[in-house]
């Protein structure tokens, strides 16, 4: 993945990502742990240090609490914790898209009259690249 200045974007571990999201959260680690269904707040520092893996079934709620895209957190966790299983799921189900990506596709379909624009067509490729560079 590339940033706007074409420098590679750093890949975060789940622990690093959670640490960063907790740092900007308006909730304490104790509140987060309780809302995730844990009685003891020490689970959050364990997640942050990478000592304990986030259970996959907790990813949707954790993403909600940390105000991040659930699909991104799921992909990150699966790729880190279960890369072989994740690869098999990707081969069977295809590449998942986020809610925002889905909205972009819906907008393209709406604006194009439900045509199926070929991204390999030279003019379309350039348009898509230009739009992608402007998205934030």
Same domain, 36 and 78: yes
DSSP 84-126: HHHHHHHHHH-----HHHHHHHHHHHHHTTS----TTSHHHHH
Split at pLDDT 50, 70, 90, the class of 17 is very high
In-domain check, residue 4:
no
Average pLDDT over residues 14-22: 96
Same domain, 67 and 45: yes
* pLDDT at 46 (0 to 100): 97
Domain that holds residue 103: 99-134
DSSP state of 8: B
Same domain, 85 and 23: yes
**Cα 43 to Cα 33: distance, rounded to the nearest angstrom:** 7
Rg over alpha carbons for the chain, rounded to the nearest Å, is: 18
Same domain, 104 and 76: no
Split at pLDDT 50, 70, 90, the class of 39 is very high
- The answer, yes or no, to whether residue 7 has pLDDT greater than 50, is no
Same domain, 89 and 121: no
Distances from the Cα of 8 to the Cα of 75, 97, 126, angstroms? 19, 21, 21
Locate 105 and state its tokens: 């596709």
Query: Which tops the pLDDT comparison, 126 or 60?
Result: 60
DSSP 3-state of 27: coil
The pTM of the full predicted model, rounded to 2 decimals, is 0.71
Q: Residue 46: CB partners within 8 Å, gap ≥ 6? A: 52
Per-residue pLDDT tens over the stretch 54-111: 999 999 999 999 999 999 999 999 999 999 999 999 999 888 888 888 888 888 888 8
């Amino acid at each position: 993945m590339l940033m706007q200045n074409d420098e590679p974007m750093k890949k975060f571990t789940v622990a690093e990502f959670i640490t960063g999201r907790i740092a900007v959260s308006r909730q304490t680690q104790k509140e987060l742990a309780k809302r995730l269904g844990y009685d003891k707040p020490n689970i959050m520092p364990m997640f942050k240090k990478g000592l304990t893996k986030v259970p996959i079934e907790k990813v949707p709620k954790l993403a909600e609490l940390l105000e991040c895209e659930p699909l991104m957190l799921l992909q990150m966790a699966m790729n880190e914790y279960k890369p072989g299983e994740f690869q098999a799921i990707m081969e069977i189900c295809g590449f998942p898209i986020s809610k925002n990506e889905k909205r972009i596709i819906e907008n393209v379909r709406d604006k194009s009259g439900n045509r199926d624009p070929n991204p390999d067509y030279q003019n379309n490729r350039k348009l898509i690249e230009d739009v992608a560079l402007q998205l934030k």
